Structure 1
Amino acid sequence: MMMLGWVFGDWLMSKPFDQLPVKRFLVVSGFIALVSFILIRELDGYGNMFMMLEGNSIVQWLHVSKYPPSLSYALLELGLMAVILAVLMWLEPTADVSRNGPVLVFGQTALFFYLAHFGVLALLRLVFERGGLEMAYLMALLALLILYPFCRIYRTFKWQNPHSLLRFI
């Protein structure tokens, strides 16, 4: 899926600034992937690593095998990503996106954030006791606040060294 993202990013950067064909492609491919997910999940067989439907609740429908990634998982995730990306591209002209805003900072350091958040959450676990959903949201917010300046520093370092392996992290 990461290679698909890199190929799509290169393709997207080669397109002219008029992004209507890109948005149309994202919406159409996203809905095709989501309809395929629904069909495969309804058939309740191929593509979901022994995670059969045990009812018709939304939780059962969304219970798909991430490890190893099943076909139903890939179709659901890529379909949602394509539709959401098309909507965000449609909203982009009306939104004021700051260069150092959290969306760009975390988006441009996604793998670094992913790797670093494990350590931050482990440290927060030493300070805070385990709790319910409210505590999980609080820990997620604290992790974002703690990692934001580190992600900004890392992004600057990555831009200063464009030919290093850091561009992949």
Structure 2
Amino acid sequence: MIETIVKPRIQSIDLLKGMVMVIMALDHVRDYFHYSAFFFDATDPEQTTWPIFFTRFITHFCAPAFSFLAGTSAFMIGKRKSLSELSSFLFKRGLWLVFVEIIIVNLGWKFDLNFTHISLATIWQLGVSMIVLAVLIHLPKKVILAFSLVVIFGHNLLDNIHFDGSYFWAMIHQPQKIEFAEGHLVVFAYSLLPWIAVMSLGYCFGSLYDSSFEAQKRTRILNSLGIGCMALFFILIAFNTYGDPIKWTNYGDTSKTLMSIFNVSKYPPSLMYLLVTLGCSLLFLANTEKLKGKVVNFFCLFGRVPFFYYILHIYLIHLLAVFTAEFTGFGWQIMVSMPTFVTRVEALKGYGFNLITVYLVWILVIILLYPLCKKFDAYKQNHKEKWWLSYL
């Protein structure tokens, strides 16, 4: 009998995944429960406060970190598969994620069986990025790295090019709503540039986690690159000419000006947005490999079952919001088939709670999801032979 040696998971990656998944839930709880969510942008210096701004800003780290690590995970999966097998897996999983975004995720956000308002966001971009990566992995690693860097550093050159109503341009670079049938809208929230490059960059970084790569050398490289990203971020702030389509403004007020400086664009993600989020992520990965303990294990659990957690948390938060609207006199119907959160909704005037309540609801959501995620994680660990689990 041949004994199979299973290489342990890299805990720092699971830890970062888990932390960004937990933080992501905070933003989505805020979307449904904070009194300001339906009336103004939480990062607008002229309307927000520092607690509200920070609550939104901290969640900026979620999508870049997860997209990057999805690419890294793809590289690791490729160590157990042939190139053609990995390409096939990425292509099929990408198609599956696009389907999940359009049907399962949109239903969770809106509870609208007519699908009158379809958003293409996080899971959509992950799916399409995987499909593109399925092709890119056939190229030399240096070419993939060059492609990733050119797209990430150069895509802001396209900021002044606009094609309103163009499906192609909406998918590539200009987030917008397009009516595809009477009364039916598709919202391209996550345009593909530069998200596809973030995932392919993560794929290139996967070689740092090869079993033959020295841990101390990996730490030095990640620290150096993380510090470099942050340094370039502040250099671009000083010049205030390139790296973000919206230049920061001097309000003559230190607090508002600082908010304007750190109010980097996510839709689409600007160079400055990616520098600060990926830079901090690299520093986190560099300095957490040796962390252990119950708190680390807690977050790592969510990092091992991110897809399962993601789907559940959307439905749970939305259901809680439906019950809250009903028992606060607004009626459950107001929480079904809503417009986007940044749209002013007069019918919800007076609805919502302060940030303290939002944080308490967030903690409740995490507590409720933890045992479910723990059971699913145990099932995955005990049934590695089931191929369909790799798609969840």
Shorter-chain TM-score: which interval?
0.7 to 0.9
CA separation of 1:77 and 1:140: change in aligned 2, threshold 3 A: same
Match of 1:3 in 2: 200
Is 1:53–2:248 an aligned residue pair? Answer: yes
- What is the rounded CA distance, in whole Å, between the counterparts of 2:234 and 2:275 in structure 1? 9
Tell me how far 1:8 sits from its aligned partner: 2.6
Tell me how far 1:10 sits from its aligned partner: 4.8
Match of 1:38 in 2: 234
- What is the rounded CA distance, in whole Å, between the counterparts of 1:73 and 1:162 in structure 2? 40
Match of 2:266 in 1: 66
- What is the rounded CA distance, in whole Å, between the counterparts of 2:262 and 2:269 in structure 1? 13
Is 1:19–2:200 an aligned residue pair? Answer: no
CA separation of 1:28 and 1:146: change in aligned 2, threshold 3 A: same
SS of 1:72's partner is: helix
- What is the rounded CA distance, in whole Å, between the counterparts of 2:258 and 2:321 in structure 1? 31
Q: CA offsets per residue over residues 74-117 of structure 1, 9 Å max, x none?
A: 1111101111222222x52xx32589x32111111223323332
Match of 1:104 in 2: 300
Out of 299, 306, 320, the position equivalent to 1:124 is 320
Is 1:164–2:387 an aligned residue pair? Answer: yes
CA separation of 1:22 and 1:167: change in aligned 2, threshold 3 A: same
CA separation of 1:126 and 1:86: change in aligned 2, threshold 3 A: same
Tell me how far 1:9 sits from its aligned partner: 3.8
- What is the rounded CA distance, in whole Å, between the counterparts of 1:114 and 1:139 in structure 2? 17
- What is the rounded CA distance, in whole Å, between the counterparts of 1:7 and 1:168 in structure 2? 22
Tell whether the 8 Å contact from 1:124 to 1:139 is kept in structure 2 after alignment. Answer: no
Percent identity for Structure 1 against Structure 2: 26
SS of 1:88's partner is: coil
Report the AA paired with residue 279 of structure 2.
G
Tell whether the 8 Å contact from 2:244 to 2:264 is kept in structure 1 after alignment. Answer: yes
- What is the rounded CA distance, in whole Å, between the counterparts of 1:15 and 1:60 in structure 2? 44
TM-score where L is the length of structure 1: 0.81
CA separation of 1:66 and 1:4: change in aligned 2, threshold 3 A: same
Tell me how far 1:2 sits from its aligned partner: 3.1
Q: In structure 2, list runs of 5 or more residues that go unmatched.
A: 1-197, 329-351
More helix by share: 1
Tell me how far 1:148 sits from its aligned partner: 1.2
Tell whether the 8 Å contact from 2:305 to 2:376 is kept in structure 1 after alignment. Answer: yes
- What is the rounded CA distance, in whole Å, between the counterparts of 2:200 and 2:380 in structure 1? 20
Report the AA paired with residue 136 of structure 1.
V
Report the AA paired with residue 265 of structure 2.
S
Q: CA offsets per residue over residues 110-162 of structure 1, 9 Å max, x none?
A: 23323332211111112336201011101111111111122223323444246
Match of 1:29 in 2: 225
Number of residue pairs matched by the alignment? 163
CA separation of 1:47 and 1:126: change in aligned 2, threshold 3 A: same
Report the AA paired with residue 271 of structure 2.
L
Report the AA paired with residue 164 of structure 1.
W
Q: CA offsets per residue over residues 23-62 of structure 1, 9 Å max, x none?
A: 111110000011111112222222212x210136332221
Match of 2:110 in 1: none
- What is the rounded CA distance, in whole Å, between the counterparts of 1:13 and 1:162 in structure 2? 24
Q: CA RMSD for the aligned pairs? A: 2.5
- What is the rounded CA distance, in whole Å, between the counterparts of 2:307 and 2:199 in structure 1? 11
Tell me how far 1:67 sits from its aligned partner: 1.5
State which structure, 1 or 2, has the greater radius of gyration over its C-alpha atoms.
2
Tell me how far 1:168 sits from its aligned partner: 5.2
- What is the rounded CA distance, in whole Å, between the counterparts of 1:162 and 1:4 in structure 2? 30
- What is the rounded CA distance, in whole Å, between the counterparts of 2:294 and 2:221 in structure 1? 24
- What is the rounded CA distance, in whole Å, between the counterparts of 2:371 and 2:315 in structure 1? 15
Tell whether the 8 Å contact from 2:305 to 2:373 is kept in structure 1 after alignment. Answer: yes
